[in-house]
A and B are shown apart, each in its own frame.
Chain A
Amino acid sequence: MSEFFWGALPYVAFTFLIVGTAVRYSRDERNWTTKSSEFLAKKSLKYAGPMFHLGLFMAAGGHFIGILIPKFLTDGAGIDEHLYHIIALAGGIPAGLLFFGGFFLLMQRRFSYSKMKVNTSKMDAVLYLILFWAIATGCLATALNATGILGDFNYRETISPWFRSLLMLQPDVSLMENVPLIFKCHMLAWMATAVIFPFTRLVHCLSFPFEYFCRSNIIYRKK
């Protein structure tokens, strides 16, 4: 069973993420959009939108550091376990508050205005549910871990190497054996997010307009 969850399912998720996104981009670019709803309800977006996105960027950065930078590198740099966790929490707590707070405000906005309800598809609703699952398990796991309730569990010795082993295409399922349930739930949440990613509005994150900085103001194009 653990082979399926931690050895096979992640690759199913990656496949959906990559193949699904490529197919959608090539066959259905007409629907590739941010799905901005500022036009329908502007005032309520003013703080909620930037809060959510800033929290998301901070959380993404934290995950990047926590997962992709191996422990021996930070140890070598003289950052011991205690200091590392203080740094992680100093970034993580505001990130979590912004992310969760922004998400809460956005959901309130989306489901309380009649105009917004009309503009919410079924896929949006599924996405919000999965996002809630991911953010809630992430925040909860971090909180439980930081307060020591989970014992001497260290995700940098279990989950992070496991994830890197996935990327190396040599999944080491044994690393996930003693991971607490809440972290396992969080793992399933990202896999679910990756599976639905190509079918939702999330794709707009791939369209961040970097090329805008390098192009000329006026574009001429032949028919």
Chain B
Amino acid sequence: MKIKAQIAMVMNLDKCIGCHTCSITCKNVWTNRAGAEYMYFNNVETKPGVGYPRDWENQEKWKGGWQLDGGELSLKTGSKLERILKLFYHPEQPEMKDYYEPWTYDYETLINSKRKNHQPVARPRSLITQQRMEIKAGPNWDDDLAGGESARKDYNLKKVAADITLEFQDIFMKYLPRNCNHCLNPACVAACPSGAIYKRDEDGVVLVSQDACRGWRHCIPACPYKKIYYNWKTNKAEKCTFCYPRLENGLPTVCTDTCVGRIRYLGVILYDADAVFDAAKTSDEKNIYFNLLDIIKNPHSPEVQAAARAEEISEAWIKAAEVSPVYQIIKDWKLALPLHPEYRTLPMVWYIPPLSPIMKAVEDKVYLPKSDAMRIPLKYLAELFAAGNIEVITKTLQRLLDMRTVMRKKEISEPAPQNLEFEIGEYEKMYRLLGIAKYSERIKLPAGLQGKTHEQLRELQGSAGYVCPGGFC
């Protein structure tokens, strides 16, 4: 057992209102620079929908993630030799039009326009070419189903389309905020020919070294979540950094800090690094979730703690792992699931699947419906979060429903329901963490990796570490 520490995130989709605050604050901090205008390290999608970049879940097209090749794990994008040939032209690399062409408006005309019969108009202008452009699509143009066209193109629906009709009375939707998953078995790291992408030993954050990156751009198709971006101006790859300068100081990521719905949880988990490949290698992709749970070790166990100390993990980190809200949600209560575990990258951003209103078809006087009577089809959620395993989704949603039932019975002074999975006290804790969701309880981060003071960090504000010194680019 080789214990490593990892900062993991949980998002409670039950409470996401799709306000894009996380995307905007992230953008303002990290990607409002030339060459990065089109990037959203964090974006919020409406599901079903095509997402950003369009159709990112279609791995037939992008060849992202891992596959089993004769029992061995290999990158879907090809062997090392095949990928060397792709250095000269990568057939699976997304291009700008798969995201969108960023634009601004000619606001000046509103001020400088001469007296005319008609109101002056601020017309759109491309941020790339600085020429006038016609806007065809943006990064979130399928928000709230947007007329339903893009919902029908959802890749997950194609797999289970037979009985999900998207008829008006049965239509459903939910929000899915996405940032880099900081995977335990990251495909981007494995695909980088220069070895520029690495997983940090101390906290598991996956970073691109801006010095070592050579712009071979193989990480971009290899990441199945399309969460690595190509900066067309500096010609290097960029990605969500988990706001590591903040993490190092014990502060949460910007998206977590600014989430108005308080849906995000951050904490430390301890995992067995020796078991990572075997966990990803299982023949049945429905088991990946269970394997992932297995390699996340109990931070209260003296054995695990001793192994962590042997790897020089500090006491502060072990303590943080013990009180980790993320561990509690993922492991103790099994309320959170990884997004598309079948990509075999073992993602470390987890999602609590959303409950939803009752379907029209079964509408009656039920106050809390059974999980299979809810509007979002279990099959669809299972495609997203459980590699098609409906049982896992049903159980997870049932735990959330049990919590609601327990709290409701308590409020109206009725006896608690029978046949519960956990003690009543556990549901009350669950309610406190998910419902009340205090900042100090959602975020438990150890500080101290960084010697820099906040004042020193502030001097770098706006450059985000991507500044391009010299004049060669």
Q: B404 within 8 Å of A by Cβ?
A: no
Closest to B203 in A: A223
Residues of B within 8 A of A41 (CB): 95
Contact residues of B: prevailing secondary structure? loop
Residues of A within 8 A of B236 (CB): 33
Q: For the complex formed, measure the closest distance between the CB of A177 and the CB atoms of chain B, giving whole angstroms.
A: 39
Q: Which of A38, A117, A119 has the most CB of B within 10 A?
A: A38
Closest to B129 in A: A114
Interface residues on B, range: 35 or more
Q: Give Cα A139–Cα B338 distance, bound, in whole angstroms.
A: 58
Q: For the complex formed, measure the closest distance between the CB of B91 and the CB atoms of chain A, giving whole angstroms.
A: 8
Let me know if B189 and A199 touch, CB within 8 A: no
B201 in complex: contacting residue of A31, A115, A121, A222, CB < 8 Å: A222
Known: A33-B214, A223-B449. A40 touches B95 (CB 8 A): yes
Q: Which of A82-129 contact B (CB under 8 A)?
A: 114-115, 117-119, 121, 123
User: Scoring A residues 37 to 59 as 1 if CB is less than 8 Å from chain B, else 0, what string do you get?
Assistant: 11111100110011001000000
Q: A204 within 8 Å of B by Cβ?
A: yes
Let me know if A114 and B199 touch, CB within 8 A: no
- A-B contacts at CB below 8 angstroms, number: 130
Known: A114-B129, A219-B189. A36 touches B200 (CB 8 A): no
Q: Which of B137-145, B226-234, B301-309 contacts A (4 or more CB under 8 A)?
A: B226-234
Q: Which of A72-80, A146-154, A164-172, A207-215 contacts B (4 or more CB under 8 A)?
A: A207-215
Q: Give Cα A34–Cα B186 distance, bound, in whole angstroms.
A: 23
Closest to A204 in B: B214
A49 in complex: contacting residue of B88, B214, B217, CB < 8 Å: B88
Closest to A117 in B: B129
Residues of B within 8 A of A115 (CB): 96, 128-129
Interface residues of A (CB under 8 A from B): 24, 27-42, 45-46, 49-50, 53, 114-115, 117-119, 121, 123, 199, 204, 207, 209, 211-213, 215, 217-223
* Contact sample, A vs B, 22 pairs, CB 8 Å cutoff: A30-B210, A31-B468, A31-B469, A33-B236, A34-B214, A34-B215, A34-B235, A35-B473, A36-B235, A38-B89, A42-B93, A45-B89, A49-B88, A119-B233, A123-B472, A213-B80, A217-B189, A218-B185, A219-B197, A220-B198, A221-B201, A222-B200
